[in-house]
Structure 1
Amino acid sequence: MTIGSYQLAGGKTLWYFVIDLPVGDDGKRRQYKRRGFRTDTEAEKAESEARKAYGEAAIGADGSVAAELAGWLSERELDVEETTLDNYRNLFRMYVNPQIGGRQLYAVDKRVIHEMYKTLLSTGARRGGPLSPTTVRTVHRVLMKAFQDLGINIEGVRQPRPAQRDNNGRKGVWSPQESKKFLKFHRDARMYAAWALAVVAGTRRGEVAGLRWSKVDLDQGIVYIHWQRTISGNKVVEKSPKGKSRRAIAIGPAMVQVLREHKARQDEEKAEAGLIYHDRDYVFCREDGEPYYPRYFTDMWEDACLAAGVPVIVLHDARHTSATAGADAGVPEHVMQKRLGHADARTTREVYTHVLPESERRAAELMDSALRDDAA
C-alpha cells in the first residue's frame, strides 16, 4: 500500500493511493491507483474501502467488468434456469457492458456504478430515451449478486428508487364487466378457450402455450400446470415450471364446457387435416397440430382487446384481473396464492391483488354508512 501527495500547477496539494492486487492469470503484477483526494484521511479511507472490496477477489488476467461477468454467467449455468440466465445475459449485454464493460473491475467503485444508473435512467433505452426505473433496479440487483459471488464488496451502492405510479399501484386490471364483455365478444373465436383460461384461471402465457391434453382432467375439472413453453433468447424452451408454479388448478363447469367445445373443434380440424396433422397433444395449437410460438399469444391478445372494445392490457395482466376478482369475491389469500402458483404470499397480496374502483366505492359507502349511524 502506498499513500502519497502531489501538487497541482497552482500549488494545491492532493493525495493518492496505490494498492497491490493479486497476481493475474498471466503472472503479472497488478495495481489499483486512485488520485484527487483533498486530504490524506480521505485517501486512507478510500484505500481501505478498495482493499476490502477487491483485496480477496480472484480477478482474472483480463480483469474487465465484461470478462468477469461473463465468467460469473458461465459458473451460474450449474444452478440457474436457462431462461433466467438468458435474462441476466441480456441485462449485461444491453445495459452494463456498454457503460462499464471495458473498465477494469478493480477500478469500479460506487461512484462509477451510480453514474451508470443515472445514465441508464436518462438515456439507457434502446432508442436513447429513459430506461424504466424498474429495469434499472433489476440491473442493480443482478449486478450486486454477481459482485457478491465474485468476492467483491462495494459499500454504499444505492439502489435506484422505484417508479412512482399514477395508478395507485394498480397494474392493468379489468373490471368484471370488462372481463365479461371481452369473453362474450370472443365466444366463437378459435382462441376463446385460451383467453378464458388466462382470465378465469390466471394462467401464464408459457403455461397456456405448453398445456397438453394429458394434463387436463375434464371429468374432475382440473388443469395440471406441469409444463410450460417459453422463449429464451431466440429459441423456444419447454420445461417444467419452477417451485410452486407447478400446480393443479380447479376449474368450474363453465370452464370445463369451454374446453370440451375447444377439444371438439380441434378434433374436427384433425380429421380435416388428415395425414398432415401432427398430433403432439397440445391444447392450443395451429390447424396442423404444431404448437404456437409463445409470442403469438401476446400478439393475438392485443388484437383481441382492440376488437372487443375493452382497455388494452398485456396478457400477463389477465392474472392481475383473475387475482383481483378472487379477492373481491372473498377468496382466501392462501387459496389464490396456490391457484396462481406464487411461492410467496406477499406476491399475491402486494403485486397481483389490486383494489378495483368498484371495491373502493363499496368501502366508501360502508364507511359513510357507519359515520351516519354513529352520528345518529
Structure 2
Amino acid sequence: MTVSSYQLSNGKTNWYFVIDLPVADDGKRRQHKRRGFPSETAAEKAETEARKAYGEASIGADGSVAAELTGWLSERELDVEETTLDSYRNIVRMYVIPHIGGRQLYSLDKRVIQDMYKTLLREGGANKKSLSPTTVRTVHRVLQKAFKDLGIDLGPIRQPRPAERDSHGRKGVWTPKESKQFLKFHRESRLYAAWALAVVAGTRRGEIAGLRWSKVDLDNGIVYIHLQRTICGNKVLEKSPKGKSRRAVAIGPAMVQVLREHKARQDEEKAEVGLLYHDRGYVFPREDGEPYYPRYFTDQWEGACNAAGVPVIVLHDARHTSATTGADAGVPEHVMQKRLGHADSRTTREVYTHVLPESERKAAELMDVALTDESGVGGLARRVFGGRNVAPRRA
C-alpha cells in the first residue's frame, strides 16, 4: 500500500493514497491521487478499490476505458476551449477512471454505467460523501459526448433525475430591499462598483475580473462584455466569453455615476503609487494596477454579505437576483436573456418561473378581497399595484 498522512491546520491528521500509472505518450509521469481520508484504514480500503477498478493492469492498455478516454481528451484539444477541456479532464479523472478505468471500453454495457452513477450518488465525493444529482448528470453528459465520438452505442442510459429546486429556483436570491441594503452599506467600499455591476447588470465574476476601461462607454451608458478572466487548472486565462455571453449591456445614469466615481478613485490611486503603478486598463485591479485572481472577488463577497447583514448568497447568484428583480418589474424575458448573456432561453425562463414572492403576495392580497368584500377589489388593486384602476370583471 502507498498511503501517507498529512497534518491539517486544526491539528487533525488526514490520509491519502497515490497510484503510479504508466507514463503518458509524451513521457510525462502520471498518478492517481485521492486525499481527505480520516484514517489509514479508510485510505487503504479506497486504494484497494481504485486498484480493482484499474483491473490491476496497465491503465494505458489498449481498449481500456481510461486509455480510450485519455485519447479522446487528447483529440478534443483541437476543437474544445481550454477551460471546457479542463473540466472534461477533471470529470474523467475524478469520477470515471477510479470506478471503471480498467474495464474494456468496447465491452461495456449500460448497467455498468448506471451502477457507477449509483455509486457516485452514494459515495462519489471527498471522504466518500454523496455527490449531487447535478454533478452526476454532468458526468453523464461528458460520457455521452465521449461515447458518441468513439462510436459507442449503449442505448438509452438512465441518469439521476434533476435535483428538486427550492421554491425560488435558487438557494440565494435577494429581495430588492436586501439588494439596496447591501449596496448602501458598501457605498464607500473599494469594490462597490464591482458589486453594483454584479447586482444591477448581472455580470459574472470572470467578466468583472476581465473588464477594461476601453470597453466601458460612460457617455452612452454601455458596458461591453468582450473579455473574461477565468481559472483553468492552476492558471488564469483571458478569453472572449463563449456564445451569446459576448454582449453590450446598457446601464442607467445611477450606474454610470457609480463607475465615474470609481474611475476618479482609481486615478487617485495611480497618482499616489506613481511609477510603480502597472496601468493595464482594468476597471477592477489591485492597488498596483495588476489584475486580481478571479477567486479574490468570490472570497471578498461572502464577507461583504456578512458585513452588510444580508443573507449570504454566492456571487453568481447576484445574476439571478438581477434577473428575478427584472422579472418582478415586468422586464420582457427576451430582453433579460440578452442582457444576461444567456445562450439558451430556457436558462432565463427558469429564473422567470421562480420569481420572488413579492408579486405573488400582491396577487394574493388582491384575490383575498374576492372572499371578503368584492366591492373593494378595485380599490385594493389600486393600492397594491400602484394606482392602476383594476376593476373586477363579471361573468
Secondary structure of the equivalent of 2:249? Answer: strand
Q: Contact between 2:327 and 2:352, CA under 8 Å: does it hold in 1?
A: no
Identity %: 82
Offset of residue 170 of structure 1: 3.3
Match of 1:365 in 2: 365
TM-score, normalising length from structure 2? 0.77
Q: Contact between 2:279 and 2:289, CA under 8 Å: does it hold in 1?
A: yes
**Gap change, CA 1:352 and 1:128, over 3 Å in 2:** farther
Deviations 1:260-307 (A, max 9, x none): 111011101101111110000000000000000000000000110011
Secondary structure of the equivalent of 1:302? Answer: helix
Q: Contact between 1:114 and 1:157, CA under 8 Å: does it hold in 2?
A: yes
Distance 1:270 1:112 in 2: 60
Distance 1:141 1:291 in 2: 34
Offset of residue 166 of structure 1: 3.9
**Gap change, CA 1:370 and 1:248, over 3 Å in 2:** farther
Match of 2:289 in 1: 289
Q: Kindly report which structure 2 residues correspond to 1:1-376, keeping only aligned pairs within 5 A, or say none.
A: 62-167=62-167, 169-351=169-351, 354-369=354-369, 373=374
- The aligned amino acid for 1:144 is Q
- The aligned amino acid for 1:112 is V
Secondary structure of the equivalent of 1:77? Answer: helix
Distance 1:360 1:205 in 2: 31
Offset of residue 310 of structure 1: 0.5
Distance 1:172 1:83 in 2: 26
Distance 1:130 1:262 in 2: 44
Offset of residue 169 of structure 1: 2.9
**Gap change, CA 1:166 and 1:341, over 3 Å in 2:** closer
TM-score, normalising length from structure 1? 0.81
Which deviates the most, 295-304 or 354-363? 354-363
Secondary structure of the equivalent of 1:62? Answer: coil
- The aligned amino acid for 1:294 is P
Offset of residue 350 of structure 1: 1.1
Offset of residue 118 of structure 1: 0.6
Secondary structure of the equivalent of 1:299? Answer: helix
Q: Matched residue pairs, number?
A: 317
- The aligned amino acid for 1:280 is R
Q: Contact between 1:122 and 1:129, CA under 8 Å: does it hold in 2?
A: yes
In structure 2, the gaps of 5 or more residues are 1-59, 375-391
Q: Contact between 2:323 and 2:351, CA under 8 Å: does it hold in 1?
A: no
Deviations 1:53-72 (A, max 9, x none): xxxxxxx9611111111111
Larger radius of gyration: 1
Distance 2:370 2:242 in 1: 46
Offset of residue 112 of structure 1: 0.8
**Gap change, CA 1:326 and 1:166, over 3 Å in 2:** closer
Offset of residue 151 of structure 1: 0.1
Distance 1:115 1:175 in 2: 42
Distance 2:346 2:282 in 1: 33
Secondary structure of the equivalent of 1:312? Answer: coil
Distance 1:355 1:333 in 2: 12
**Gap change, CA 1:166 and 1:353, over 3 Å in 2:** closer
Offset of residue 210 of structure 1: 0.2
- The aligned amino acid for 1:146 is A
Distance 2:144 2:302 in 1: 36
Distance 1:166 1:281 in 2: 41
Distance 2:115 2:352 in 1: 33
Distance 2:190 2:168 in 1: 36
Offset of residue 363 of structure 1: 2.2
